[in-house]
Structures are given as C-alpha cells and as structure tokens.
Amino acid sequence: MELQDPNLRQRGRASLDFLAQMGVAAAPVSQKVTSEISDQMDPDKLPDDLDERDALINAALADSRAFATHRLMGDWHSRSYTRISTEAFEEILPELQPVLDKTSNGPASLELDPDLPLPDYWDGVHFHRTDGGWDGHEHMGYVHGEIIHKKMVARFFPGGIFQQRQNVAEMAPRDNYKRILDMGCSSGHFTTALANTYPDAQITGVELSARMLEHAFRTANANGWNWKLYQRPAEDTGFDDASFDLVASYILIHEIPADVVEKVFAEAFRLLEPGGDMIMSDATRYADLDKLGVWKADRGAKYGGEPFWRETASLDLAEIARKVGFEDVSADGIYPHVVKGRKPA
Ligand SMILES: C[S@@+](CC[C@H](N)C(=O)[O-])C[C@H]1O[C@@H](n2cnc3c(N)ncnc32)[C@H](O)[C@@H]1O
C-alpha cells in the first residue's frame, strides 16, 4: 500500500465513483436551471443585492423540477461525502497502518500546539460541510487529502486540481527561492507543488488543523522533503521579520473573514525579506462574473459550507496588497484568481 492515492476496496471505490459521477451529472442540471432563469427574466436586470437576487430567483423557480433536483443532489452530496470517504478509509486502514507508522518519521518536522487558541471563525465550523470540520476525524488529513481530493473532487472539478496548484507555484516571478512559506498548507497539496517547483528551497507550512498537518507531515516524510510544519494562524505566525523570500497560499483566503484577509496579507509583508515575493490564489472574484454567475457561486457557497466566500469573493485583493505595502501588484485569472506583489527592496 502506498501512502498517497491508495487503492480502495471495491465498496469504497464504488461509493466514491457514485459521488464523483453525481458531481458530473449535476452540471447539465445546473445548465438547465440557468436556461430556465434566462427564459423568465433578463439576467442583467437581476437585483444588485445578493439576498434579493436569490429570493427573486427562488420564487421564479418554485415549480422547476431541474431546480429542485439540483438542490437535492447538492444536499445529498454534501451530507454524504464525509461518511462515504471515511468508510472507504476505514476499509483500507489495516493495510495502510504500517505505512502511516513508517511515514511518522523522516526529514520533516511538525510542531503542534495543543494550547493554541483556535479562532472563532474556524473552530467548530464545518467547512465544506465536512462532518466535524477539518479536525472531525482522527485521520481527517488522510481522508481529505487522499480520498476526498483524489477520488472525488479531482474527478468533477474542471481544470485538474493538482495541475492548478502546480501552475500557481510556477507563477511566482523567480525560480531560485530559498525560504518559502505556504500559508494554510492543509494536507500539503500546494506545498507539494512548491516543493516540486523549488527543490532547493526550505519549505515551511502553517495551518490551524492538526489533522491536516499530520498528513502533510507524512507526505513530506514519504517524499524525503524536510518541510517545517507548524500549527499556527497565517495572520500571526510568530516567525521573525524577513524570514522568507516567497510567501504563498492556495485557496486559503475564501476560508477566512475579510478582516483576517488583510491581516494575512500584512503578515506576509512582514515575513518577507526586502525584495521578497507574495503570491496568493483563490476562488473567482464576484467582480469577474456576471450576475447569474455570482448567484450560482454565492448559492453554492451558502449551501456548500463556505461561510466567508461571499465577503472574500467581493474583496479587491490587489487593493489590499497595495494597502499593506506591496508594490508591482497584479491580480489575474478567473479560477484560480492569483494576486502577486513584491515587498520593496
Ligand atoms: C481549502 S484548504 C487549503 C488547501 C491547501 N492549500 C491545498 O492546496 O490543498 C484551507 C486551509 O486553510 C486552513 N486555514 C483556515 N484559516 C487559517 C488560518 N487563519 N491560518 C492557517 N490556516 C488556516 C484550513 O484549516 C484549511 O486546511
């Protein structure tokens, strides 16, 4: 048994296939909903207020079978995926355990802090409607990192979720970084892209979830990487000023409130050496979508367990980057939306 991308047993594989196929099958139903809305109203004239927009569309689609079906599919999917993935994990645990034990040692380091005051916006919040939240299972790092991501999300998310991380890692302006910080490193997928792109760099990760960090730690050990992993908030890392030459993140921002986003950017600025680079990437900005696109994204976030999506997707991240001191700021791309900036030399 390999640590990463495991072979599941037949039952787990079939259940995960069903979940993935349901994600694929939801796409044409969603298109049908969109065309029904367009038949009934001019999407450009929808209300600016997002709650009013949602209420108007809900009323218009009250008798729509496509709308009801889409809602049911999404709800069942959100309610079921943690249970199905955890069951698939438990089926392979006997063979996996020796691999988990073996990869608990190696070149990486992991500093967990049982006394860390976890922020209210994170603690007890079931992001993505994950049962119990990011720390909801003893092996949630494995369940999320290897099973949910690789056996489900990767199959219905457009563009290749791992290729996207690799693309973002390669978008940093230089190719010779030596000290990289990954903020919100979770189970280590973007950290892996950074390690592959900058093999000579010392890579550090900060993350609030102990369970996610444990899987990142095992991933690093399995690959011979000497990552330094810390259970610390991205907005208050405790590292010295000028500790890094690249500070990066991949889809952290939509999971934190808007005021914390600014603190995270300010912390990135503090942590960079003069001339150092920041690259933060996240979900599509509402400003880059039409009114119907915003409605869909907003509704998906509301029912999909994304409490800060609306407020962060409404931010101008380039403006925040400039406000905290970055220069040469750029913000491009629909998904992911990538914000870059340099600390003045
Ligand atoms: C969507 S995941 C990030 C995924 C990861 N970067 C990857 O490439 O797979 C967001 C992560 O950010 C973490 N997180 C949320 N708020 C945080 C904070 N203030 N500081 C550090 N990590 C945080 C969450 O626990 C979660 O693991």
Is residue 2 in a domain? Answer: no
Rounded mean pLDDT of 128-156?
Answer: 91
Domain containing 53: what range?
10-107+133-140+142-149
Full strand arrangement of the beta sheet holding 179-183: 109-111, 228-231, 202-207, 179-183, 244-250, 272-282, 337-342, 327-332
Percent of the chain with pLDDT over 70: 99
Answer yes or no: is pLDDT of 156 > 80: no
- DSSP code of residue 286: G
Is residue 155 in a domain? Answer: no
CB under 6 Å to ligand 1: residues? 122, 134, 165, 184-186, 189-190, 206-209, 212, 233-235, 250-252, 255-256
Ligand 1 center from residue 283 Cα (angstroms):
13
**DSSP assignment string, 116-148:** ----TTTTT--GGG-TT-TTSSTTHHHIIIIII
User: 53 and 178 in one domain?
Assistant: no
Ligand 1 center from residue 61 Cα (angstroms):
35
Cα 70 from Cα 32, distance rounded (Å): 10
User: 330 and 184 in one domain?
Assistant: yes
Rounded mean pLDDT of 107-115?
Answer: 97
* Protein residue with its CA nearest to atom 19 in ligand 1: 233
Ligand 1 center from residue 233 Cα (angstroms):
9
Query: With bands split at pLDDT 50, 70 and 90, how would you rate the model's confidence at 23?
Result: confident
Tokens 């994170």 belong to 122
Answer yes or no: is pLDDT of 119 > 80: yes
User: 225 and 91 in one domain?
Assistant: no
* Protein residue with its CA nearest to atom 27 in ligand 1: 186
pLDDT single digits (tens) 250-292: 999 999 999 999 999 999 999 999 999 999 999 899 999 999 9
For residue 128, give the ligand 1 atom closest to its CA.
Answer: 1
User: 210 and 80 in one domain?
Assistant: no
User: 219 and 336 in one domain?
Assistant: yes
Cα 120 from Cα 299, distance rounded (Å): 23
What pLDDT is attached to residue 335?
Answer: 87
Ligand 1 center from residue 185 Cα (angstroms):
6
For residue 190, give the ligand 1 atom closest to its CA.
Answer: 8
Ligand 1 center from residue 303 Cα (angstroms):
20
* Protein residue with its CA nearest to atom 1 in ligand 1: 251
Query: With bands split at pLDDT 50, 70 and 90, how would you rate the model's confidence at 221?
Result: very high
**Tokens at 114, concatenated:** 């049982």
User: 320 and 205 in one domain?
Assistant: yes
Final residue of a structural domain among 149, 181, 215: 149
| SS3 (DSSP) at 341 | strand
Query: With bands split at pLDDT 50, 70 and 90, how would you rate the model's confidence at 2?
Result: confident
Is residue 258 in a domain? Answer: yes
User: 227 and 100 in one domain?
Assistant: no
Average pLDDT over all residues of the chain: 95
User: 214 and 327 in one domain?
Assistant: yes
Longest Cα–Cα distance in the chain: 60
User: 316 and 248 in one domain?
Assistant: yes
Rounded mean pLDDT of 163-167?
Answer: 95
Is residue 128 in a domain? Answer: no
CATH code where residue 298 lies: 3.40.50.150
CA of 74: how far to CAs of 80, 91, 268, 271, in Å?
10, 26, 36, 40
**Tokens at 306, concatenated:** 């994304």
Answer yes or no: is pLDDT of 51 > 70: yes
**What's CA 340's distance to the chain center, in Å?**
18
User: 187 and 305 in one domain?
Assistant: yes
Rounded mean pLDDT of 127-148?
Answer: 92
Answer yes or no: is pLDDT of 157 > 80: no
Is residue 127 in a domain? Answer: no
For residue 229, how many other CB atoms are within 10 A of its CB? 25
Non-local CB neighbours of 83 within 8 Å, separated by 6+ positions: 131
Is residue 336 in a domain? Answer: yes
* Protein residue with its CA nearest to atom 8 in ligand 1: 190
Final residue of a structural domain among 149, 173, 202: 149
Annotate 169-189 with b (16+ C-beta within 10 A) or e (fewer).
bebbeeeebebbbbbbbbbbb
Rounded mean pLDDT of 88-105?
Answer: 96
What pLDDT is attached to residue 192?
Answer: 98
For residue 119, give the ligand 1 atom closest to its CA.
Answer: 19
Query: With bands split at pLDDT 50, 70 and 90, how would you rate the model's confidence at 158?
Result: low
Report which of 262, 248, 250 is spatially closest to residue 312, judged by C-alpha positions.
262
pLDDT single digits (tens) 207-218: 999 999 999 999
Q: Please, which residues bridge with residue 180 across strands?
A: 203, 246
Domain count, the chain: 2
Length of the chain: 345
Is residue 174 in a domain? Answer: yes
* Protein residue with its CA nearest to atom 9 in ligand 1: 189
**Tokens at 25, concatenated:** 């099958």
Ligand 1 center from residue 43 Cα (angstroms):
34
Instruction: Mean pLDDT check: name the lowest of 68-77, 127-136, 156-165, 324-333.
Output: 156-165
Is residue 154 in a domain? Answer: no
User: 310 and 188 in one domain?
Assistant: yes
